[in-house]
Structure 1
Amino acid sequence: MPPPSQQTGERRPRAMVIDRAWRGLGPGLESLSGPGGAPLTRTVKLIVLPLIIRPATHPELAVDFLGPAQAARLDALIRESGARLEATAQWFTLLKRTRRALGIVAGNPQDLYFQRCFELATEHGRPSAGADTVARAVVEDVAGAAGGRTVEVLKDHLADAVRRARLDGELATAWESHQPAPAADAVAAVVLAAEVLEACGAPGRSRNSPEYTAMVEAGHGGLFGRALWAEASGVWGRDDLPVHLGLTAWQVPPCPEAGRGASTATLPAPLDRTLFERLFVVLQSSARREELPTVPELVGREAGRSCAPLGLYDESLRAAVVLGGRLAVGLDPLGSGDSALGRTAAHRAVNSRWRREASALRARRMTVSPRPDPDGGVLDALAQDLRTPWSAYMRRLWVRLHGRDVRDAPLGDIASAWAVLDGVARSVMMDHRARVRSALRTLSATAAEAAERSSA
């Protein structure tokens, strides 16, 4: 008999199989789970997929939808790891407590410690006698590996008024040297991008696409970025869409500044960020900061990068921005069918996956329902996100490409480019799913409280 978390005779989304198997493990995993009990996105990305499922070892589990046998195997792998995952959660709690005691604040603890905690759980089991000493050694080792590549070092580096003034002057000079490109160049890039996206979604696609190679070698990404400086319009075939698709709040990106601080909650659009804000994101999200250049070198290179077309140096990454934009404007999660831009094989693959999402189905019902939103607008706002999905997609895509640019990690072939483009689409979809679930939990709790008060 298959495990209770599975159903027979049908293919199931891998994410759903993971979610149900995780919930079946019971208590003790709170530090690795979200408020609703599902595994955190980073838990799946950093622990479940690479360390438990190991798609390279189990290629049959590397697909999005699993048959009954594959779903049962994945379920079993997670359940067999229950004790180790509980120990991982306990080590993570201990490492966070040790980190606070040592006054370390740099970096995201999940990125820094999740995989190390799984290693500790594998080697030692649950924390026991001597665990405090082990935890301190791990935290100090991780902090030392950063080699001064921290937000605090960045803040100190840019606190110098003379250095900051010099950087602002260099940025202004570089910005004034722009050579804008006409809108026709951007249109040509978008047309070629559609051909590349058709190749991306084609069955049995090869890693070497002549369309993708031509796009990169001809510098279409750079030309597209230069068109942003010329107030291009109509590039996407729709006059209501700005060419930058939300990468800036302005019609033309502003000259970047050095900056002195940043906050995750108030980060502006990617092309409107200061040097500090750009590097703040890189340093906060990097699990392997020892691979980054030193802070002075990071700042020096970012000054030039921020004034380059699309805020990126590498041409393959600039091309990925154009590809992402062409994909983004054709996204149609609600299945309205009114987007003539979503007609490539890549669009069909992404849109069909998104339309199967329960959160998208609910949002679609809301768009055709004459009844007002009962929660005062929260769910309607989430539905609106699905009517205009390109902004969230492009913002996340740019951040991912910027991180690759900082690490000198170009996209050498069409398969690598598609992995990034499709991965961002999945990430946006999962984020929206989590927000819908959170809103529904809040509404349910509010309704229960109201019912309790009325019956009192």
Structure 2
Amino acid sequence: MPSPNQPSTGERRPRAMVIDRAWRGLGPGPQALSGPGGAPLTRTVKLIVLPLVVRPALRPELAADFLDARESERLDALIRESGAVLEATAQWFTLLKRTRRALGIVAGNPQDLYFQRCFELATERGAPGPGADAVARAVVEDVVDASGGRTVEALKEHLADAARRARLDAGLAAAWDGREAVPGAAGTGLAAEVLEACGAAGADSPAFAAMVRAEHGSLLGRALWAAHPADVWDRPDVPPHLGLTAHRVPPRPEVGRSASTATLPAPFDRTLFERLFTVLQASAHREQLPTVPELVRREVDRSCAPLGLYDESLRVTVVLGGRLAVGLDPLGLGTFVAGSTAAHRIVNSRWQREASVLRARRMTVSLRPDPDGGVLNALAQDLRTPWAAYMRRLWVRLHGRDVRDAALPDAASAWGVLDGVARSVMMDHRARVRTALRTLSATAESAAEPRSA
């Protein structure tokens, strides 16, 4: 029998509305996690309800922004079944805030710091009872120690604890086993429509929102988990995963202990440590990131989610990026002409005007041995498979946005990211060519100098 909070028809409802109604139905118990009007706080939804109660990575049918009647009923039931734990979570949060004030701690947002720890306490211990004050003090002091800095060193220290690593590994195993691998994926017809519209200055496309609603990004991610994903790019010469993994099927993420910028594997093959290493290394405003313990906890489910991302708009941008990437043609060889869109023409025109690309094109067309010993030839080879570097950089950028909860609301904002990544890859290639030419020039001059008697 459907819950009184949910419709009995087949209409689709915003997930946020379903969560709001189910939460209000819990009554005053979790008041410390609610706003003045009784709705769950934004951080309550992001830090507790979605990752710890709903767990979209394990229940992909509840990951969409819009749910049908059956899915709405399931989500409502999950929240109602968690009512006692959520009430205990609110009680622990009140106690931890009081303990924090008594210790004179003012750094950090208490919701970011304690929400998920309080849920863990509520799950393991129930409501605060005898000895709760000592437990609260220990937790607050532990959080202070662990979140003293959002740095790679802090991440390394956090993951050095053997018991914590074992818990994280078990969480990764459970999330990975709960995936849904589905052969085949949504076509890229709508993606072409979006990219055609994005090529016009200031233009937007309703097809982007349609792709998000239809979960095209999730469909692609689940197809890549299948043993034989369908070819969605109309390019038999490129792998379906576009170089985001070195394997036919992405492997289960490991916890990891270290990382090196020079030896980072493909994005889907990275450990938990390596995924967060890139975020901490690249973040100019680290104070906007969650604390290190929260980063790690969230990354467990995220790393096992479709395309390694939570937000569907970011997953859809991966689909758009893939459609753009397989049509990149810096050398002007006529690759993928049939699938060209306005976005392709803009990016390819920019690439093909590059002096370094013109030289690489001459080398490629002539097929003569590279007189410099192969350095520039290797750079020319990068231009023959531009989709690899493009997709790698795009995923890292989208992952950083996902960690910061920075969704892409429309096609225009998605195009800003896609075009920005294309410019970044092009400029990086230009810098590498210049470095190679300087090195070769210095080597030639050194060889031309007369030897002393």
> What code does the residue aligned with 1:201 have?
G
Stretches of structure 2 lacking an aligned partner (at least 5 in a row) = 1-146
* Counterpart-to-counterpart distance in 1, 2:285 and 2:338: 39
Correspondence for 2:93: none
Report the identity percentage: 76
* One-letter code aligned to 2:450: R
- Given residue 191 of structure 2, which amino acid in structure 1 is its aligned partner? A
| Cα distance, 1:454–1:368 mapped onto 2, change above 3 Å | farther
User: How far did residue 339 of structure 1 move?
Assistant: 2.1
Selected match of 1:193 from 191, 194, 200: 191
Match of 2:431 among 420, 434, 440: 434
Counterpart amino acid of residue 337 in structure 1: G
Distance 2:169 2:375 in 1: 41
Question: Hey, what does 2:382 align to over in structure 1?
Answer: 385
Asked whether the equivalents of residues 332 and 342 of structure 1 are also in contact (C-alpha less than 8 Å), the reply is: no
Query: CA 1:244 to 1:370, structure 2 compared with 1: closer, same or farther past 3 Å?
Result: closer
Paired residues of 1:271 and 1:311 also in contact (CA < 8 A): yes
Q: 1:170 to 1:447 in 2, by over 3 A?
A: same
Residue 237 of structure 1 is matched in structure 2 by 234
Q: 1:159 touches 1:260 (CA, 8 Å); kept in 2?
A: yes
Q: Structure 2 length normalisation: TM-score?
A: 0.66
1:205 to 203, 210, 213: 203
1:43-442 equivalent positions in 2, closer than 5 A: 147-183=148-184, 185-186=185-186, 188=187, 190-206=188-204, 209-230=205-226, 231-340=228-337, 342-442=339-439
CA distance in structure 2 between the partners assigned to 1:253 and 1:334 by the alignment: 30
- Cα displacement string for residues 406-433 of structure 1 (whole angstroms, at most 9, x for unaligned residues): 0000000111100000000000000000
User: What is aligned with 1:117?
Assistant: none
- How many corresponding residue pairs? 307
Structure 2: distance between partners of 1:259 and 1:172? 14
TM-score by length of 1: 0.65
1:222 maps to a residue whose letter is S
CA contact (8 A) 2:376 2:436 kept: yes
Q: Do the aligned partners of 1:342 and 1:348 also contact (CA within 8 Å) in 2?
A: no
Q: Cα deviations across residues 306-347 of structure 1 (Å, max 9, x unaligned)?
A: 000000000000001010010000000001113235510000
Alpha-carbon contact 1:335-1:355 (below 8 Å) kept: yes
Instruction: Find the counterpart in structure 1 of residue 50 from structure 2.
Output: none
Instruction: Give the partner amino acid of 2:392.
Output: R
Q: Greater shift after overlay, 393-402 or 168-177?
A: 168-177
Residue pair 1:316, 1:411 contacting (<8 A) in 2 also: yes
Q: Distance in 2 between matches of 1:241 and 1:387?
A: 11
Distance 2:326 2:430 in 1: 20
Report the counterpart of residue 24 of structure 1 in structure 2: none
Aligned-pair CA distance for 1:371: 2.6
SS at 1:423's partner residue?
A: helix
RMSD across aligned C-alpha pairs, in angstroms? 1.6
8 Å CA contact 2:255, 2:271 repeated in 1: yes
Cα deviation for residue 240 of structure 1 reads: 2.2
- The answer to whether the Cα contact below 8 Å between 1:147 and 1:290 also exists between their aligned partners in 2 is no
CA separation of 1:204/1:274 partners in 2, compared to 1, >3 Å: closer, same or farther?
closer
Give the Cα–Cα distance (whole angstroms) in 2 for the partners of residues 258 and 192 of structure 1.
37
Could you give the per-residue CA deviations for residues 23-58 of structure 1, whole angstroms, max 9, x where no partner exists?
A: xxxxxxxxxxxxxxxxxxxxxxxxxxxxxxxxxxxx
| Matches of 1:440 and 1:210, distance apart in 2 | 46
